[in-house]
Amino acid sequence: MRVHPLRQQVISEVHARPFQKLYSPLALIHVAVILDPQTRLSQVQHGVIDMAQDMGLADAPLSSFFFCQNEHVGLRFEVHNEFYTLTAYRFGSEQLPDDFMSRIEKLDGAFLCGCEVVCSDQVEDVDTWVRSQFKHQIVGSEVMGGAARVWTDFYHREESGLTRLQVLDLALSSYQRGRLLQRLCEIEVYRHVALLALPDATRAMPRITRFDQNLAQISARMSSEPAADLLDELTDLAGDVEALAAGTANRFAATEAYFAVLDKRIEELRETRIEGLQTIEQFMERRADPAHRTCRSAGVRIEKLSNRIARTSEMIRSQVDLSTEQQVRDLLATLSGRARSQLRLQAKLEGFTVIVVTYYAFDLIERTLRNTIPVEKMLDVALFILSGGVPLIALVLWLYIRRMLKGIEDDE
């Protein structure tokens, strides 16, 4: 028995991105950077390793995920399909990591979003502590079965450009704390990457409406204009729709996947409402869900439009096929009519044919008799008998010709 070549990779995948064991108090900064076509992942990895060394951490492995830490700080690096994330931790303090944003400016990629999370376990005046951090409407809830509370306003702060989240640790275990903070960071990231398709959907909607109107016009002209001309227009329209679908399908599919992850992460928070505040789930339903529906609607409209074009094309092709079959049938009917006319003419000429053939048969027999009967008296008798048999010869020839033509007339 041999070992499957992917066995170790499959086993490692289950433990590829573990939650960290964390303790309060702590503060972290989490950022997401898009891997655009100009980004070289290897350079990013080397840059992150250099960053870890600058933070006083041990050498990190050159891989798509690693987490390294010492007594005071930590760094987490994780590569996803379209982006990578970096998380810097400061342990035992509510002060955010120093100079982290300036350090990541040297890395390749397009900065998309990020958040700063402060996790405390001892707060004297919770209301004052929370309200001092936010200028807009606060969103908050109890999470993890009441083991913690989370507050945010989902606005980017002017000084850092990041979203602030405040976490009050009531009774979290170390692994629960790691899961909670990771989920909060992922909610912030996935709500942004999920909306990358919104500009595409907004631009696509007018084009979809115009294509829909063009299809309706073509369908309305099906009964009054040649199908071949309409088929050319429909082919051009189908090409435009397929080009639009090809340009947006991947983005819309990714949006559906990201929103699914976002909903899952919010569900895993196990929120309980704090009186007077929206929960994170309610906020996302109110603010992010309309954009999700817009993206989904654009994708569904493109798919339905493509299916309608296919059905209309099938109808027009059916008309073209029927028209072609009608032309072929008319041509065959014309050829058949000509053949029948020829047969009727041939039947009319049948009498003349019998006369001509009878004449030549009589002449042939007469010449044969003259050359074969030397006695003149016997020759006269033979010629007399031959002359009397002319009607019989004509009758035999007529019956023979009728027999030959009978099969042709039956086929007609």
* DSSP per-residue string spanning 162-217: SEEEEEEESS--HHHHHHHHHHHHHHHHHHHHGGGGHHHHHHHHHHHHHHHHHHHH
- The Cα 40–Cα 14 span in angstroms is 26
> Are residues 23 and 75 both part of a single domain?
yes
Q: Is residue 375 part of a domain?
A: yes
Blockwise average pLDDT, block size 10, the chain, 412 residues: 80 72 93 86 86 83 83 91 93 90 88 94 86 90 93 90 93 93 95 94 94 88 76 87 92 94 94 92 92 93 91 81 80 81 69 72 75 72 73 77 64 51
Q: Is residue 190 part of a domain?
A: no
At position 325, the amino acid (one-letter code) is E
* Boundaries of domain holding 370: 349-411
Residue corresponding to tokens 């200028």 = 135
> Are residues 80 and 135 both part of a single domain?
yes
What pLDDT, on a 0 to 100 scale, did the predictor assign at position 377? Answer: 67
> Are residues 79 and 115 both part of a single domain?
yes
What pLDDT, on a 0 to 100 scale, did the predictor assign at position 165? Answer: 94
Q: Which of 122, 144, 177 is the last residue of a domain?
A: 177
* DSSP per-residue string spanning 123-150: -S-HHHHHHTT-SS--EEEEETTTTEEE
What pLDDT, on a 0 to 100 scale, did the predictor assign at position 141? Answer: 95
Q: Which of 148, 177, 206 is the last residue of a domain?
A: 177
> Are residues 20 and 161 both part of a single domain?
yes
3-state helix, strand, coil in the chain (%, to 5): 60, 15, 25
Q: Is residue 7 part of a domain?
A: no
> Are residues 61 and 108 both part of a single domain?
yes
| DSSP 8-state code for residue 110 | E
- Vertex 152 angle, CA 151 and 156, to 5°: 165
> Are residues 206 and 131 both part of a single domain?
no
Q: Is residue 42 part of a domain?
A: yes
What pLDDT, on a 0 to 100 scale, did the predictor assign at position 256? Answer: 94
- The Cα 321–Cα 202 span in angstroms is 40
- The total of structural domains in the chain comes to 3
> Are residues 159 and 27 both part of a single domain?
yes
In what side-by-side order are the strands of the sheet with 139-143? 65-69, 73-79, 83-91, 26-34, 110-120, 163-169, 148-156, 139-143, 272-273
What pLDDT, on a 0 to 100 scale, did the predictor assign at position 303? Answer: 93
Query: Domain holding 268: CATH number?
Result: 1.20.58
List C-alpha distances in Å: 295 to 152, 196, 204, 288, 298.
Answer: 26, 10, 10, 11, 5
Q: Which of 256, 290, 325 is the last residue of a domain?
A: 325
> Are residues 159 and 265 both part of a single domain?
no
> Are residues 75 and 142 both part of a single domain?
yes
- The Cα 311–Cα 303 span in angstroms is 13
Q: Is residue 6 part of a domain?
A: no
Q: Write down the pTM of the prediction.
A: 0.76
Two tokens, residue 181: 């903070």
Q: Is residue 339 part of a domain?
A: no
- The Cα 23–Cα 314 span in angstroms is 65
> Are residues 35 and 169 both part of a single domain?
yes
Q: Is residue 228 part of a domain?
A: yes
> Are residues 86 and 145 both part of a single domain?
yes
175 Cβ neighbours under 8 A, 6+ residues apart:
19, 21
Q: Is residue 332 part of a domain?
A: no
Radius of gyration of the chain (CA): 46
- The Cα 204–Cα 349 span in angstroms is 75
> Are residues 96 and 138 both part of a single domain?
yes
What pLDDT, on a 0 to 100 scale, did the predictor assign at position 304? Answer: 92
Provide the β-strand partners of residue 75.
Answer: 68, 88
Report helix, strand or coil for 326: helix
What is the β-pairing status of strands 73-79 and 83-91? antiparallel
